Structure 1
Amino acid sequence: MASAFVVGNAFRHKVTELLENTDSSLPQALKEELEELLEKPEPITLTFGTARRLKKYLQDKGHPFYLHELLEDSSLHLPEFVKPPRNPELVARLEKIKAKLANEEYNRITRNVNTQAINQNGTLADFGRQVRSVKAVAVTLFNFLVTVVAAFACSYMGSQYLFTETAARVLTGVIAASVVGLAELYVLVRTMEGELGEP
């Protein structure tokens, strides 16, 4: 917090005039303080107390210049803030709390990570699982195609007792194969939905 002014040349000049004026009846303590200030090297700091006493004197004696004129090229002297040393016990406690919070945050982020399942190169079990998955898809597709082709062949061959024309027999086979294919797709989709829905 400011407690003094850093005064400039206007202050030096006007206070020198005031001190040289022989008829001025400056109080001795104030006069000595002002003379001591003028002898100091730059920057000169004028305390608020001295400034108040000087203002009171100027008001009481009716001098032709005022305090604000003395301080027009001055600025507030703000002492450098000295940071108090931190309590080592408090610092240790804060570090402990920070470490605990960081550990809790890490555990919260990594709680659903299985470290044994993670491997940069992958394990043989992962490879086996992938092969089984591909194998299951291949078997399902093969089964679908065999079922559709068998339904077409069965309908084509069975319709020879109803139709003598080849176009009618082919049309019957395509219709039967389409119905069986759609039924297979429906069952396949429902099965996949059930597998995906499991936790």
Structure 2
Amino acid sequence: MASSFVIGTKFRERLNDLLGQSNLAVPPELREELRNIVEKEEPSTLTFRTARTIHKCLQENGHPVFLHDLLEDSILFLPQVEMPPRNPELVARLEKIKAKLANEEYNRITRNVNAQEINRHGTLADFGREVRSAKAVVVTVFNFLVTVAATFACSYMGSQYLFTETAARVIAAVIAASVVGLAELYVLVRTMEGELGEP
């Protein structure tokens, strides 16, 4: 907190002029203090208490120079705040807490990163999973084709007892194979939905 002024050159000159005047009644203590301030090397400071005393003295003597005119080129003296030294135990604890928070943040960010997925070629387990998936698809398609072909063959052979013409037998076999194929597709879709966890 400011408690004094750093006086400027104008203040020194005007104060010298005032102290040189014989008609100015300045108390000896104030005169001695002001003389010490003026003779002191720059930067010299003037306390607020001394500034108020000068102001009072100028008012009592009816002097035309006001205090703000004297302090025109002076600035407030703001002492530098000295920070107390930090407690080493507190600093060590803060460093531990910072390191812990940084580690938790890193773990949160990298939680879903899998080092095996970073490999471009994948792992042997990924290759095996892909082979099993492809094998299941091939078996399903083969099963579908065999079922439809067997239904067509059975319907064609069995319809000879109902129809004598070949066209009617083929149409009946195609209708039966289509119905069985659609039923097979429906069952396949429902099974795949169940595997994916959809309702």
Normalised to the residue count of structure 2, the TM-score between the two structures is: 0.75
| Residue-by-residue CA offset, 1:94-138 (whole Å, 9 max, x unaligned) | 2233334444555566667777x6774643233212221222222
Matches within 5 A, 1:135-154: 135-154=135-154
Q: Distance in 1 between matches of 2:27 and 2:164?
A: 138
Code of the aligned partner of 2:64 = P
| Residue-by-residue CA offset, 1:73-110 (whole Å, 9 max, x unaligned) | 32222222322210111112222333344445555666
Q: Distance in 2 between matches of 1:189 and 1:146?
A: 18
**Residue 191 of structure 1: SS of its match in structure 2?**
helix
Q: Classify 1:33/1:197 alpha carbon distance in 2 versus 1 (closer, same or farther; 3 Å).
A: same
Matches within 5 A, 1:187-198: 187-197=187-197
Name the residue aligned to 2:40.
Answer: 40
Q: Classify 1:194/1:12 alpha carbon distance in 2 versus 1 (closer, same or farther; 3 Å).
A: same
Q: Distance in 2 between matches of 1:56 and 1:17?
A: 18
Name the residue aligned to 2:50.
Answer: 50
Name the residue aligned to 1:67.
Answer: 67
- Which runs of no fewer than 5 residues in structure 1 stay unpaired? none
Q: Distance in 2 between matches of 1:163 and 1:63?
A: 142
Q: Distance in 1 between matches of 2:3 and 2:148?
A: 98
Q: Classify 1:89/1:165 alpha carbon distance in 2 versus 1 (closer, same or farther; 3 Å).
A: same
- Which runs of no fewer than 5 residues in structure 2 stay unpaired? none
Q: Distance in 2 between matches of 1:57 and 1:3?
A: 20
Q: Distance in 2 between matches of 1:21 and 1:29?
A: 17
Code of the aligned partner of 2:138 = A
Q: Distance in 2 between matches of 1:147 and 1:17?
A: 123
Q: Distance in 2 between matches of 1:170 and 1:34?
A: 129
**Residue 86 of structure 1: SS of its match in structure 2?**
coil
Q: Distance in 2 between matches of 1:7 and 1:171?
A: 117
Superposed displacement of residue 59, structure 1: 3.0
**Residue 46 of structure 1: SS of its match in structure 2?**
strand
Q: Distance in 2 between matches of 1:103 and 1:148?
A: 60
RMSD: 3.3
Superposed displacement of residue 67, structure 1: 1.7
Identity value in percent: 68
Q: Distance in 2 between matches of 1:175 and 1:63?
A: 126
Matches within 5 A, 1:31-180: 31-105=31-105, 120=119, 122-155=122-155, 158-159=158-159, 161-162=162-163, 164=165, 166=167, 172-180=172-180
**Residue 5 of structure 1: SS of its match in structure 2?**
strand
Normalised to the residue count of structure 1, the TM-score between the two structures is: 0.75
Name the residue aligned to 1:185.
Answer: 185
